[in-house]
């Protein structure tokens, strides 16, 4: 039975039983606690937690899943994989163990002709959580003999995601593959012979801190008991297709066998080659699915997971003898063809997927050529010295200079019988991060390997920047990069990175945002949206070919967006002035710690022990605006660092400067080292308006401000607003703060008085409720629905007040329910005499909360719970009456 048919059969079975078939969600998890979807239930997590109301009570899906914890074991065994698919049926408070277990048994053991999978009942075993007697009884009723049901502990039969979220006990189903696969004794004896094919997770609890598989905190019960089935498609396919492992099933083996064919190897002939073939097959599946979901290779987060897998696959192709041949395109096509029957978007997006993976292959093959030589030299020297550990600085050099991930170095070293000084590597990495702006570097290099830029710089030479004096220039296309790889030509619609021989475009740096504009050639045009300098001397223009095509060697005309440049230049000059103003006000310790100069707006970060008083902000603003009125001339000069220091020019801490530095002066008021663009005189700024300041970290403050027309428009809007408020409150502008403060104070006092009145009104009925109590078999029972909006605290006070009005020797139960907002709440209180009769508040709340579609509990004397169904309050109270009757 092919994988696609297994999926169809599974989904059809549950659809016929009232389940909504839900398509697989993207591998990119919406859950911020997850990097990637790592379980079939992840898309439904908000429903299990009660954060969202599910649009259906039952669902079934075939969900794509990525797990990376065992990535280093992929290929070494036939059990580990990074990508797989989970078939799941889910109940969101609809059914629980009583139906979930029979559903599983029926689908597995029904004949193929009847829509099942045809597993022989005598070959099936079951495990349950240690104390789950209920599940055991249900399995027995389903027809499983007691001797084939085994109890297991937290490590085996309790499920959670490894992070805070839903969890609960589970019951697993195993298939006995026969004595040739291992020893007798069931799953507890041998999980190679007894292969898990199904796992019913009984979602019952919300978990807090999760320290390990068996060490976690249970916060409470989920709003509703639910079911999450995990059934690995690959493992099911291995059994139904009669193969030994998941690498030999239809979808994976097609990729594996194609890789063997391309490299001239044969699966099963050599253990080491088999490992490589399994790595290739698994990582190609994972890589194609990730790219299909929009993930691109990068050096962090999801992008790093993708890059690591693709590069492991590429390197294992090399180990199989691929040499300089590029086989990823062919293997990607095989993977798309294999998986496309289930995921049609892969076929539609094939061109994009090929482009991303081809570019990564080209980039990494270049890295491998250089890095492998360096690695081999380091290994040879290490062995020659009689050492068994590769030095941390060698691993760092491979990572930092040649783009070798540390994981690859560790893997290659292990193959040579060596270890790696990981602590030394980590120390060097930490030093690098402390001395470099890692986030800026990541942005500048984008998805391209740094070696690509190095090759372009070597070919085209240092790019001449003309932007200080020219807003347009005639130039030439020196290089084009698409998806991280150099290309000779790019057509309309292509996102490109372009290098020019000379350019007027300013590359982002020194806090100044990049220029935007257009690059025109005879047969095409590029819209430039960003400009970066990934390595010294190179300017890379990022954008899209909007018409025609662009070819390396084309004569070009580059023109920046003049209005944007002028607006940003005003912001940059304003930053220098504000910097000087704060130093004058707070002292020279107010050093710049960062900035961003945007069109019409800027932010300025500086060191300060504490918050800056409003009066200081006003003084700095006044001082800076005075320099605008004076219309000070802006001068630029070049000199040595030593001479610049003598002149008192400010240099930014952490920035690196060359031997010759550029100084920007604003009259005698400000003098800084700066490579950015500026106005000709301070009067061109027009106006600066400081919006406020805030903390962005220990000892660092941030000021945000507007400049030029943006500042004027802001003040104009404020003037209109103040005028409107003055009219509405009949107060002069200077009286507004005091007048508004008085109104707010009176409003808060009124709200407090209303709350007191509302609480008194709720409690006023306590005597009436007690006197009107019902008698149920000698127990005074009060059930009451409080008015809408009654707070949970008032519900609790009312329940306790009513309970206290009964004599101590009279058994009494008080249950009060209400809807404080959208969600119903119920409180139960039982006096000592009532508890002696066997009545417990916690149990009664549980009964009511279940009717409300939720949960709750507490002590025997008083308990509180809630739910999601505000229309079931009366039903909940009736359920409590029935529970009391049945308990007495």
Segment 365-388 mean pLDDT: 83
Residue that wins the pLDDT comparison between 86 and 165:
86
Determine the pLDDT at residue 615: 92
pLDDT interval class at 410 (50, 70, 90): confident
Determine the pLDDT at residue 460: 80
Determine the pLDDT at residue 567: 95
Segment 152-180 mean pLDDT: 89
Q: Which residues partner with 814 through β-bridges?
A: 782, 829
Segment 528-547 mean pLDDT: 92
Q: Which two tokens stand for residue 294?
A: 């929009």
Angle of CA points 835, 840, 844, to nearest 5°:
145
- Taking 60 as the threshold, does the pLDDT of residue 437 lie above it? no
Q: Which of 605-614, 649-658, 821-830 has the highest mean pLDDT?
A: 821-830
pLDDT digits (tens, 9 = 90+) for 194-219: 999 999 999 888 888 888 889 999 99
Determine the pLDDT at residue 832: 93
Residue 411: φ, ψ to 5°? -65, -45
- Taking 70 as the threshold, does the pLDDT of residue 443 lie above it? no
- Taking 50 as the threshold, does the pLDDT of residue 256 lie above it? yes
pLDDT digits (tens, 9 = 90+) for 759-815: 777 778 888 899 889 999 999 999 999 887 788 888 999 999 999 999 988 999 999
Question: What is the spatial distance between Cα 433 and Cα 427, in angstroms, rounded to a whole number?
Answer: 10
Q: Which of 136-140, 437-441, 713-717 has the lowest mean pLDDT?
A: 437-441
- Taking 50 as the threshold, does the pLDDT of residue 440 lie above it? no
- Look at residues 872, 781, 859 and name the one whose alpha carbon lies nearest to residue 825: 872
- Taking 70 as the threshold, does the pLDDT of residue 647 lie above it? yes
- If you write DSSP's letter for every residue of 628-683 in order, what string do you get? HHTTPBEEEEEEEHHHHHHTT-B--TT----SEEEEEEETTTEEEE--S---SBGG
Segment 321-335 mean pLDDT: 89
Segment 841-852 mean pLDDT: 91
Contact 12, 50 (CB under 8 A): no
- If you write DSSP's letter for every residue of 264-313 in order, what string do you get? T--TTS-HHHHHHHHHHHHHHHHHHHHHHTT----SSHHHHHHHHHHHHH
Contact residues for 460 (Cβ-Cβ < 8 A; gap 6+): 478, 479, 499, 501
pLDDT interval class at 445 (50, 70, 90): very low
Q: Which two tokens stand for residue 886?
A: 């049945």
pLDDT interval class at 442 (50, 70, 90): very low
* Cβ neighbours of 736 (radius 10 Å): 14
- Taking 80 as the threshold, does the pLDDT of residue 456 lie above it? yes
Share of the chain above pLDDT 70, in %: 94
Segment 666-692 mean pLDDT: 94
Segment 315-332 mean pLDDT: 88
Segment 403-412 mean pLDDT: 76
- Taking 90 as the threshold, does the pLDDT of residue 70 lie above it? no
pLDDT digits (tens, 9 = 90+) for 584-620: 998 876 777 778 999 999 999 887 767 889 999 999 9
**Annotated binding-site residue? 470:** no
Share of the chain above pLDDT 90, in %: 54
pLDDT interval class at 698 (50, 70, 90): very low
Handedness of CA 500, 501, 506, 510 (dihedral sign): positive
- Taking 80 as the threshold, does the pLDDT of residue 500 lie above it? yes
pLDDT interval class at 699 (50, 70, 90): low
pLDDT digits (tens, 9 = 90+) for 3-58: 999 999 999 999 999 999 999 999 987 776 678 998 888 888 878 776 667 889 99
Segment 391-415 mean pLDDT: 79
Q: Which helix (H) or strand (E) holds 741?
A: helix 736-763
pLDDT interval class at 444 (50, 70, 90): very low
- Three-state DSSP at 67 gives coil
Segment 434-441 mean pLDDT: 47
Segment 432-443 mean pLDDT: 48
- Taking 90 as the threshold, does the pLDDT of residue 681 lie above it? yes
Question: What is the spatial distance between Cα 161 and Cα 33, in angstroms, rounded to a whole number?
Answer: 11
Determine the pLDDT at residue 90: 94
- Taking 60 as the threshold, does the pLDDT of residue 720 lie above it? yes
- Look at residues 161, 152, 144, 173 and name the one whose alpha carbon lies nearest to residue 203: 161
**Annotated binding-site residue? 576:** yes
- Taking 90 as the threshold, does the pLDDT of residue 644 lie above it? no
pLDDT interval class at 287 (50, 70, 90): very high
Contact residues for 621 (Cβ-Cβ < 8 A; gap 6+): 581, 688, 689, 690
Residue that wins the pLDDT comparison between 179 and 763:
179
Determine the pLDDT at residue 355: 76
């Amino acid at each position: 039975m092919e994988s696609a048919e297994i999926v169809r059969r599974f989904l059809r079975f549950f659809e016929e039983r009232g389940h909504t078939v839900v398509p697989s969600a993207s591998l990119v998890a919406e859950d911020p606690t997850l990097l990637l979807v790592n379980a079939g239930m992840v898309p439904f997590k908000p429903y299990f937690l009660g954060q969202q109301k599910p649009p259906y009570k039952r669902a079934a899906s075939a969900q794509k899943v990525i797990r990376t914890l065992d990535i280093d074991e992929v290929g070494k065994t036939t059990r580990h994989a990074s990508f797989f698919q989970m078939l799941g049926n889910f109940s969101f408070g609809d059914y629980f163990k009583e139906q979930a277990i029979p559903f599983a048994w029926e689908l597995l053991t029904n004949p193929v002709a009847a829509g099942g999978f045809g597993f022989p009942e005598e070959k099936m075993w079951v495990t349950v959580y240690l104390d789950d007697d209920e599940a055991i009884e249900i399995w027995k009723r389903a027809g499983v003999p007691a001797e084939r049901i085994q109890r297991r502990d937290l490590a085996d039969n309790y499920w959670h995601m490894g992070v805070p979220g839903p969890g609960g006990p589970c019951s697993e189903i195993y298939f006995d593959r026969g004595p040739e696969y291992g020893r007798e004794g069931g799953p507890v004896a041998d999980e190679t012979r007894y292969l898990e094919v199904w796992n019913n997770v009984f979602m019952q609890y919300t978990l807090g801190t999760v320290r390990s598989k068996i060490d976690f905190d249970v916060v409470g019960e989920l709003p509703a008991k639910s079911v999450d089935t995990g059934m690995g498609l690959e493992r099911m396919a291995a059994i139904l297709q009669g193969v030994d492992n998941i690498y030999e099933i239809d979808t994976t083996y097609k990729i594996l066998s194609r890789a063997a064919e391309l490299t001239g190897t044969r699966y099963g002939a050599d253990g080491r080659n088999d490992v490589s073939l399994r790595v290739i097959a698994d990582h190609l599946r994972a890589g194609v699915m990730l790219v299909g979901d929009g993930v691109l290779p990068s050096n962090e987060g999801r992008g790093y997971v993708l890059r690591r897998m693709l590069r492991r696959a590429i390197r294992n192709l090399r180990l199989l003898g691929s040499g300089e041949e590029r086989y990823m395109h062919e293997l990607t096509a095989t993977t798309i063809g294999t998986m496309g029957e289930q995921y049609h978007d892969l076929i539609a997006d094939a061109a994009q997927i090929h482009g991303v993976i081809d570019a990564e292959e080209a980039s990494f093959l270049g890295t491998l050529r250089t890095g492998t030589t360096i690695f081999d030299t380091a290994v040879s020297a290490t062995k020659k010295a009689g050492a068994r550990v590769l030095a941390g600085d060698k691993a760092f050099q491979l990572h930092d200079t040649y783009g070798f991930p540390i994981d690859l170095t560790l893997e290659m070293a292990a193959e040579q019988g060596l270890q790696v000084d990981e602590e030394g590597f980590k120390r060097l990495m930490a030093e690098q991060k402390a001395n470099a702006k890692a986030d800026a570097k990541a942005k500048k290099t984008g998805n391209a390997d740094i070696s690509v830029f190095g090759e372009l710089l070597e070919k085209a030479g240092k790019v001449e920047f003309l932007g200080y004096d020219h807003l347009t220039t005639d130039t030439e296309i020196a290089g084009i990069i698409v998806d991280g790889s150099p290309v000779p030509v790019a057509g309309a619609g292509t996102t490109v990175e372009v290098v020019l021989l000379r350019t007027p475009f300013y590359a982002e740096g020194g806090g100044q945002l990049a220029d935007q504009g257009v690059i025109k050639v005879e047969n095409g045009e590029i819209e430039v949206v960003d400009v970066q300098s990934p390595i010294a001397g190179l300017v890379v223009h990022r954008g899209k070919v909007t018409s025609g095509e662009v070819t390396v060697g084309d004569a070009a005309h580059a023109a920046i967006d003049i209005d944007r440049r002028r607006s940003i230049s005003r912001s940059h000059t304003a930053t220098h002035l504000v910097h000087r103003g704060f130093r004058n006000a707070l002292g020279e310790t107010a050093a710049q710690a960062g900035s961003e100069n945007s069109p019409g707006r800027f932010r300025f970060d500086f060191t300060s022990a504490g918050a800056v008083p409003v009066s200081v902000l006003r003084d700095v603003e006044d001082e800076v605006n005075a320099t605008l009125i004076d219309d000070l001339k802006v001068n630029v000069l070049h000199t040595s660092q030593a001479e610049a220091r003598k002149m008192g020019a400010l240099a930014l801490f952490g920035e690196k400067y060359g031997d010759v530095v550029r100084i920007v002066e604003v009259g005698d008021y400000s003098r800084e080292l700066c490579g950015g663009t500026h106005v000709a005189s301070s009067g061109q700024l027009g106006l600066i308006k400081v919006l406020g300041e805030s903390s962005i970290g220990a000892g660092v403050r941030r000021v945000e401000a507007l400049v030029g027309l943006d500042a004027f428009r802001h003040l104009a809007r404020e003037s209109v607003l103040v005028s409107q408020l003055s009219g509405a409150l009949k107060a002069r502008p200077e009286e507004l703060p005091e007048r508004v403060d008085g109104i707010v104070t009176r409003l808060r006092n009124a709200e407090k008085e209303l709350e007191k009145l509302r609480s008194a009104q709720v409690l006023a009925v306590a005597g009436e409720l007690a006197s009107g109590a019902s008698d149920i078999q000698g127990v005074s029972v009060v059930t009451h629905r409080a008015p809408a909006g009654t707070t949970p605290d008032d519900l609790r006070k009312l329940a306790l007040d009513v309970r206290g009005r009964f004599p101590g020797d009279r058994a009494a139960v008080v249950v009060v329910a209400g809807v404080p907002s959208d969600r119903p709440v119920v409180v139960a209180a039982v006096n000592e005499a009532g508890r002696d009769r066997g009545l417990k508040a916690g149990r009664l709340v549980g009964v009511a909360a279940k009717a409300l579609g939720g949960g709750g509990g507490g002590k025997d004397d008083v308990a509180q719970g809630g739910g999601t169904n505000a229309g079931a309050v009366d039903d909940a109270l009736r359920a409590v009456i029935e529970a009391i009757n049945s308990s007495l």
